[in-house]
Structures are given as structure tokens and as C-alpha cells.
Structure 1
């Protein structure tokens, strides 16, 4: 896994780099003293078609905090918070971080966190590499674990800024995960799903009726934007 360390304390960066270089499956890409340097490094790597898989991130930094930086990211690399402040733990896990380490961090605790990240990385890689073979499901991070989502169970998806709610026929509560509408829409290429509103994607197979620019799916009423209405009617054979 290709990783970077972000911390405004030089000694903390030294320790992080030393720990990272001792782990065979970690590739140390670089160190950053603040979020701005991290953004520049990530963009530079992206321009060279190289991804950052894991970020070791401090929270209290000048300018942009670690939490603000994490919320601003478009891509979704794994993140391990390393901080002296335990009060951000809940917010961190709500942002689907891999782990939350309190300074000073022992190597044993560090190793436990990166092992967890490695397992998650391997599971994601296996999921993506077998997508064409096992395309009946995918995995998302939700409630501190990987949750399997079957395409056939999806009723519709609602976008909420950096999060989406996935409504399923198999449970009453939606699955909430940190993902953009664009990224989830890409999973539905050549499949019977359609974006019918800036905030909604629906399963065409689950539509029961359409009236007054509203779709009925079970007990749910979902709005249709006028800009999508003609394409929707064309997809379902209504025009």
C-alpha cells in the first residue's frame, strides 16, 4: 500500500516514517507538514497515475485540520488518525477511518492498525478485480465494517453531500456510507439503474408507478427532475 504521513510535528513525522518503513507491505511515498502539502502531494501522484492508498493523519494542524482535510477529499483513500486528542474519535469513525491512534503510539498498536488497513485493502482489491465475474454485489464501508450490497436488493440511492444512503428491499434502515453520487453511479454502467434527480438514483426494475414527476417504489415517493424525465420515460418504454 502506498502511504503518506501528515503531521505538523517533525518528531512525529520521523517516528511515523520509521514505523512505516519497517512494514514490508507499506510503501512510503512522502511526508507532509500540513494539509496543503498533502493535497499537493496527492495531486502530483494522481497526475502520474499513481494513487495514495493510506494516509496517516494528524488532526490538530495549522490552517486546515485533519478532519476538515478528510471531509474535503474527493477520492477515498484509507485514513488512520494519529493524534493526541481523543475527543475526535467518534467523528473520525463517522468518516469511516480505519483506526484512531492516540499519541504516543507503540509499534505494536501501530502494527495492529496497519494490519487492519491491509486486510481492508486486500478485500477491496479482490472485490474490484472480480467485479466482472461476481457483479451481483459490491462492498461499502458502513458502521465500522465492510457491508455487502447486492444490486438486486437496491431500491434507490439518496445523495447527501459526501455521503449516500442506499435503500434496500431486505431491510428497513438504509445503509449509509461515505461515497459520492458520481462514484456509485459508475458502478451502475450497463445496469438497470438511472439517475433521476441530482440527489437520487433508482432501480428501474423496482419502479411501481410514475405520476406528477414522482416515482413510487414500495412506500417511497422519489422526485424526478424535469431534466431527467424524458430519458426516464425512454428507458422504461413510456415514450
Structure 2
């Protein structure tokens, strides 16, 4: 069960959010809040796992509110303004919902938050995962630090592993499927038949492109669901 709060300055929206939350069996609504200051007061008094948060509110807006928190709970933005989506993504939002929100879309966002919540409840299992692996390069075994990976490009029987710390990629004989399985418990997404991308390195998502700063990589329609699982699109 996840404890959540709903924050919006419009009473009708709060009523709708509360109604939707009550329909989701793994959510418990702790309180409804009209503004960020009320929400901050609740966070000081209660254990809150998830915030449904409007952006445009009088005083402190939703983005500023999340930025003000040292250890914010998970957040799902619920707003009428799509132009703030990138800012929401940069604040590690679970999802970004545009008003009016259908219950189907609302439930999809809640399920995404619940998956993350369950992962957070198993810290010991995650701590035991190594943050590196070795690949065969010519006659050597080369260590690849997983947090250093930007993206991976497939080339028939070989892959190129592009790293933040190196100007040249590591080239090793390995299938994309094998590498995808190796990275399945980390924040990586297959975005194209020839590309796997680190979610934490993505700086922008366009209609058919994934951007890592100035690098543009293809995003295939058939792989968009993979990206949506780990990014608030």
C-alpha cells in the first residue's frame, strides 16, 4: 500500500483525483491539499510515498515545490500545461499527466509508480547487484562500469558500448539481446533494434528521437513502450 496526497488549487480537480485514487487498491489517500504549503505540512507529519501534483498554483508552483524538498517522494504531475514536461522529467517525475485525465491513463501512471515503489522496498537485493561487467576485447577482458554507459549500438554480431568517460566506444562480440538481458535490472531501454540507451543519460525525447545532449539516436514506434516504462512521457 502506498500513502499518497493530492495537491491542486482547483476543488473539482481534487475531488476527481480523490475519486480516482479510491478506485486503485494499492493507494491510500492521506490528505487533499489546496497548495504547496499545505502539502509541505503533511509531508512533515505523515509518511507519504507518492504525490499527485498540479504545477500552476498560487504562491509556490509544483515544480518549485519539488525542487525545495531534500528527499521528495515519488511525484506524478497532473497539469493542463504540456510545456513543462521536460522540467518534470528532469525532476525524476514518475509520470506527467495532462488534464483532463482518463482513468485508464491515471491507472497506467499509478502502476508505474507501484512498480518503482516495490523496487524500493528491496534495497538489499539491489545493493547486491554489481555495477559493472566484463567484455572480451581482442585478447583482454575489459571492465565496463554500468553508470558510465551512455548508449549501445548493435552491429550484426558486435556491439559498440559508448561511455561518458571515453572518446571511443568499446567494441565487443556480443548480441544486443544478450546485452539487453544483462542490463535488464538497471535503467536502460531498448529504443531501436540497434540501440539501447541509459535512461539516466537522456536529456530530451522527441517524436522519433532520443537525445543525449547533442547526440540524437532513433526511437522506433515499436520500442516506445520500453521508454515509457522508465520515463515520464
Normalised to the residue count of structure 1, the TM-score between the two structures is: 0.55
Task: Report matched runs for 1:30-179 at 5 Å.
Answer: 30-45=31-46, 51-126=47-122, 128-130=123-125, 134=128, 136-137=130-131, 153=145, 172-173=163-164
- How many Å apart are 1:136 and its aligned residue? 3.4
Cα distance in 2 for partners of 1:17, 1:83 equals 15
Q: 2:22 maps to what in 1?
A: 21
Report the CA distance shift for 1:125/1:108 in structure 2 as closer, same or farther (over 3 A). Answer: same
- How many Å apart are 1:119 and its aligned residue? 1.1
- How many Å apart are 1:121 and its aligned residue? 1.2
- How many Å apart are 1:153 and its aligned residue? 3.3
CA contact (8 A) 2:53 2:62 kept: yes
Aligned residues: CA RMSD: 2.7
- How many Å apart are 1:135 and its aligned residue? 5.5
- How many Å apart are 1:112 and its aligned residue? 0.7
Cα distance in 2 for partners of 1:82, 1:8 equals 12
Larger relative contact order (Cα-Cα within 8 Å, sequence gap ≥ 6) = 2
Cα distance in 2 for partners of 1:66, 1:35 equals 7
- How many Å apart are 1:137 and its aligned residue? 4.6
Report the CA distance shift for 1:131/1:172 in structure 2 as closer, same or farther (over 3 A). Answer: closer
Report the CA distance shift for 1:122/1:137 in structure 2 as closer, same or farther (over 3 A). Answer: farther
Cα distance in 1 for partners of 2:148, 2:130 equals 16
2:26 partner SS? coil
Cα distance in 2 for partners of 1:130, 1:123 equals 9
1:19 partner SS? helix
- How many Å apart are 1:58 and its aligned residue? 0.0
Report the CA distance shift for 1:123/1:131 in structure 2 as closer, same or farther (over 3 A). Answer: closer
List gaps (5 residues or longer) in structure 2: 133-143, 150-160, 166-197, 201-233
List gaps (5 residues or longer) in structure 1: 46-50, 139-151, 155-165, 178-239
Give the number of equivalent residue pairs.
Answer: 148
